Structure 1
Amino acid sequence: MMSQSAIFVDASFLLAIGGHRASGTTLRAAYTVNYEALIEGILKTAKEFSGLENLRIYWYDAAKDAIFTDQHKRIGLIPGVKVRLGRISFNGEQKGVDLKLGLDLVGIARNRAASVAFLVSGDDDLAEAVEEAQDLGMKVVLIGVEKADHRLGVASVAEHLALRVDSIITLPEELIKTAFVKAVSWDPEHATQTATIANAPETIKAAKISTESQLMRPKPGAPKPPTPALLNQRPKFQSPVKATASTAPADYQLVYSSTQQTSGFAGAAGTGDPSAMDVATEVGSSVARNWHASTSQAELKDLLADRPLLPAEIDRVLLKDCAQRIGEWRTDLQDIRRAMRVAFWEQLDQLT
């Protein structure tokens, strides 16, 4: 087996943690990444631990129809980096990413192309691939992001995976701070312009619509801003009273989830943890602010047209952000999920 290393990066895992550290959300539009610096830092961390030269970095991500985006092309042009893409399904989930990573890891071990594999991931679905590579004589080292208050010392890594790797090391905190930068902030002018379009009365005159459209100045070829009539076709979502352990709303509202093909009714919050409910509300509001600050008028129109159904990509961000704060098992509680979605719509109503 050749004395060199290979690095396998689950981009969704790494970007979610780094982006959350920088912007408080896993929404990719809310932060920018210096990929060149990030990849150089990963290479340096691996080299300092093993002393080996690197075969290449395998970068795993997902895209619609597995077609390279401009971002993926940028990463793929970095020397020594190979981008491997899975697909994004109709409900926003990644498909084929873990499978590609696991097959490549075992393939490199079987071909004896590297003696040490560095794995940047936290997914327990990779545990079997790790053991197979080890059985073939390869050492597998997990590279994580430090989290001092976690029992494993790293963020968002499944214990099932952590128990199977040979070692766990962490990326320098300074690398995460410099490679990830918050990209969006709330812009009062943007808020005013958005509110003009979203809340203008239906009786507005055509001349006024024309004037406001000129103020928005959409780029050539971009979708036209929605008319007030379009946005007012659906009634505004009336969310239930903020639920706590001791309160119950007077009426019930239909609640939809983009992660399931079913709907339910929002009743009392039951006996949920008040602090967890507060976090859920804060997460919902934060995601709404970040999304609204980086969205286009066409995207806003589409979101409002499907209300109260949330797009899968936004719902997944809500769940990821909340899990970063209170853990996955609490985030799975229906009261917590409901509070996030209600807070998202309430915040969006205030912004528009």
Structure 2
Amino acid sequence: MGVPDLPASAAAPCAQRRYAILIDVGYLYAAAGEVLFGARERREYRVQADELIRVLQEYGASRLPGELLRVYWYDAAADRVPTVDQRVIAALPMVKVRLGNLNKLGQQKGVDAQIRSDLDALARHGAVTDAVLLAGDEDLVSAVDAAQAYGVRIHLWGVEPAYGSNQAERLVWEADTVEVLSADLLRPYFRLAHPLPTQAASTTPTPAQVFAGLTPAARTVARPNSSASASGSTSATVSNSKLGPNRSTVEEIGEHVAQKWILTRGRDNIRDLLPGPLLPTVIDTELLIEAEKELGHSLRPYPEARVWLREGFWARVYREFDIDRKSGK
């Protein structure tokens, strides 16, 4: 008598995918405050945390298969006594609040240790197959490595940086996937505690205006009137009011980064990039981040600036190896 065929699901059951979202609130708030308002301290803005958590849950559901186990919300409070806001968050479904200590200087203590402990426990007990880590501290690299050793996939989320990078490079390297939460995604849930008057806000120069060396008030003065336009001074005014980074400055930054890499990474590593002028995506991103750190502003809204940056970089590399820029030999 033959053995009856079993349904495919019974013959080869597959492990159910389940994930947790671990959020370093200190990192999330600080990075969002900087990119949205240029704010340095949490008291400068307010956060609609319950709605923010809901959006992050929805974002995770759209990116990861399986079911959400829960959200871990790592924050800090003086003497670990939860604030009113933290009590509200703790009452949300599928959210667990973990509190570190907030010292007199406003510094968080013990938060990273709690993240490492929870990530290790989740992985060791097989509670999740995937873990989302919204954080930026290099101290979490060891926890990521340990969880991966148990077979857990680590999905690192970061907040769009104002410029450069706001996450440790090694943490980015070790993650299985990396995603950046845009400022537009977070903006509806953050607001300034004391909004600036309209007039004051309008006279604060943007990074583009800083590059151009003009404040809004200065551009108003420079704007030609009808008689000035009629007298032929329009072209001079247009060139002065053009926004964006200065080409020679960006090219110099590109050369500076190339020189630094030659000294720190060695000529042999830089020679591997030849003949150019194309750069591997990872190296091109590193070049952009280094340049933005030097400038203190983002180059991402200016595609032409990235071209100038590469030109400066390759100019220095070609000089180093005595290569004719046109022929590549």
- Which bin holds the TM-score, normalised by the shorter protein? 0.5 to 0.7
Correspondence 1:89 to 2:89: no
Task: Work out whether residues 129 and 152 of structure 2, in 8 Å CA contact, stay in contact via their aligned partners in 1.
Answer: yes
- Letter of the 1:5 counterpart: Y
Q: Does 1:177 align with 2:187?
A: yes
Match of 2:177 among 157, 164, 167: 167
CA distance in 2, matches of 1:185, 1:138: 43
2:79 aligns with 65
The structure with higher relative contact order (CA 8 Å, sep 6+) is 1
What amino acid does structure 2 have at the position aligned with 1:48?
A: S
Match of 2:141 among 127, 152, 159: 127
Q: Which amino acid aligns with 1:165?
A: A
1:51 is the counterpart of 2:61: no
5 Å-filtered alignment, 1:260-275, equals none
In the alignment, the residues of structure 2 paired with residue 46 and residue 84 of structure 1 have an alpha-carbon distance, to the nearest angstrom, of: 20
Could you tell me how far 1:326 is from its partner in structure 2? Answer: 3.8
- Tell me the distance in 1 between the aligned counterparts of 2:109 and 2:63: 32
User: Residues 2 and 68 from structure 1, CA distance in 2 versus in 1: closer, same or farther, beyond 3 angstroms?
Assistant: farther
SS across alignment from 1:87: strand
Q: Which amino acid aligns with 1:158?
A: A
The aligned counterpart of 1:335 is none
- Counterpart AA for 2:139: D
TM-superposed CA distance for 1:6, in Å, is 0.3
1:109 aligned to which of 123, 127, 151: 123
User: What is the identity, as a one-letter code, of the residue corresponding to 2:144?
Assistant: V
SS at match of 1:58: strand
Superposition deviation, residue 136 in structure 1? 0.5
* Cα distance in structure 1, aligned partners of 2:148 and 2:141: 11
**Inter-partner Cα distance in structure 1 for 2:62 and 2:75:** 26
The 1:38/1:149 distance shift into structure 2, 3 A limit, reads same
Shift of 1:12: 0.3
Q: Which residue in the other structure is 1:75 paired with? A: 89
One-letter identity of the residue aligned with 2:91: L
Question: Identity of paired residues, percent?
Answer: 35
Alpha-carbon separation, structure 2, partners of 1:110 and 1:149: 37
The structural deviation recorded for 1:19 is 1.8
Aligned to 1:4: 18
Letter in 1 for 2:43: A
Deviations 1:84-123 (A, max 9, x none): 0011234432111000001100100011011000000000
- Residue 46 of structure 1 deviates from its aligned partner by 1.4
Change in Cα spacing, 1:80 to 1:26, as seen in structure 2 (3 Å) is farther
Q: Hey, what's the Cα distance between the residues in 2 that align with 1:172 and 1:48?
A: 15
Q: 4+ runs of 1 displaced by more than 3 Å?
A: 147-150
1:34–1:179 contact (8 Å) kept in structure 2:
yes
Q: Give, as a single letter, the amino acid of the residue that structure 2 aligns with 1:58.
A: Y
How much does 1:78 deviate?
1.6
Q: Which structure's CA Rg is the greater one?
A: 2
Whole-Å separation in 2 of the counterparts to 1:94 and 1:170: 24
Partner Cα separation in structure 2 for residue 148 and residue 71 of structure 1 = 27
Deviation at 1:149, TM superposition (A): 5.8
Change (3 A) 1:147 1:16: closer
Q: C-alpha separation between the residues in 1 aligned to 2:17 and 2:193?
A: 40
- Measured in 2, the distance between the counterparts of 1:99 and 1:15 equals 19
The offset of 1:80, in angstroms, is: 1.0
Q: Is 2:171 the partner of 1:157? A: no
TM-score for the superposition, normalised by structure 1: 0.50
SS of aligned partner of 1:163: helix
Q: How many aligned positions are there?
A: 189
Structure 2 segments unaligned to the other structure (5+ residues):
1-14, 198-292, 298-329
Cα contact 2:35–2:183 (8 A) shared by 1: no
Deviating more after overlay: 132-141 vs 41-50: 41-50
CA distance in 1, matches of 2:35, 2:161: 11
Mapped contact 1:38–1:175 kept (Cα < 8 A):
no
SS of residue matched to 2:174 = coil
TM-score relative to the length of structure 2: 0.53
Distance in 1 (CA, whole Å) between partners of 2:296 and 2:80 is 32
CA distance in 1: counterparts of 2:161 and 2:109, whole angstroms: 28
* Alpha-carbon distance in structure 1 between the residues aligned to 2:19 and 2:173: 21
Quote how far apart the aligned CAs of 1:147 are. 4.0
Partner of 1:347: none
